[in-house]
Structure 1
């Protein structure tokens, strides 16, 4: 599950949870007379989408029809989560939108964040072409959302009433810099995924701070 990547969650449990939430989203859209034609079309698309197709595209940013080009699903580099590092007085914290038992935007120490992910690989990057004022604003915007609820099923990235992890980064960046980090409009027909955000380093929008490595405790 993109918002519950703990090792004890099996693919079967994740698929069942995602399908339950998807069906709830579809039913809500269809029962709301104010739903736009575009939103109804999106609901129809999601209703026909399998969990496997969703997970491949969300975690790996690859269409399932192209998996063979990569030699198989196990050969595709996937990214399941993203947060914002906030350093205060030399102490790093992480601002993130998380599901699980929290279901909100939280700010925790970087050490505690790492300890909760003993087998995860962590990649750190810094947005380029930003002034010091914009960098400060980026983090301040993210801080202002702490406590907001988690919502994976809101496809308007400009709506700050609720967040999923990569939406939090997208909106904080847009408000700090004045344009979107990926150059696209807020309304989407699919989620803005952590893998899409990670891929921006190839275009020079993100600069590597360190290569991926595994933290052990």
Structure 2
């Protein structure tokens, strides 16, 4: 147990050193290695910042009444949250989740798929809220339910294996929900088959409704 803790700490420290020295971190990918292109990541952060804000979609049951004020932090079920913040030593290139309730998100952390607080506007230095284009608010809600049903599944450390549904990394979880339910592919291809969190902002199939 002590050796495992030392090994885990060493891995986290190594990733931090690689990031701070601008060296692209390498992650296990089955029998291969997957290298994160930090230059591409930086370009995607800059691109996401330039995506214009739009009003959130209107519920099919709202009779034209707006769900929330323009640019306010989202609490609607099915809205996707993305941050470029380095997150808890898992992947030093951002994190993604989907809103389940006004106070809860579904996300995949190192321990697997779980729920967490919907407080990213307070706990992240930068946060984006995006909604998928071409879906209704009911469909977005169903996507959040799909993610919620994956709770307890392990974290997917094989970032190129996006076809698996037995384990998930953060952005793969959100991507898989809309792909499996509606055939909507939120992957831009910037990282090959891997799905990076910032792709969920930069894809033409989502609209940015919040930015802090």
Equivalent residues in 2 for 1:1-217, closer than 5 Å? 11-12=16-17, 19=26, 21-22=27-28, 25=29, 29=31, 43=32, 46=34, 49=35, 54-58=37-41, 60-61=43-44, 80-87=94-101, 91-99=102-110, 103-111=111-119, 117=123, 120-182=125-187, 189-200=192-203, 203=204, 205-210=205-210, 212-213=211-212
**Structure 2: any 5+ residue segments left out of the alignment?**
1-11, 46-82, 85-92
Give me the TM-score of the superposition, normalised by structure 2: 0.58
Change (3 A) 1:57 1:124: same
Question: Within 2, Cα distance between the matches of 1:197 and 1:179?
Answer: 12
RMSD: 3.4
Change (3 A) 1:196 1:132: closer
Give me the TM-score of the superposition, normalised by structure 1: 0.57
**How many angstroms does 1:133 deviate by?**
3.7
Whether the 8 Å CA contact 1:95–1:142 is kept in 2: the answer is: yes
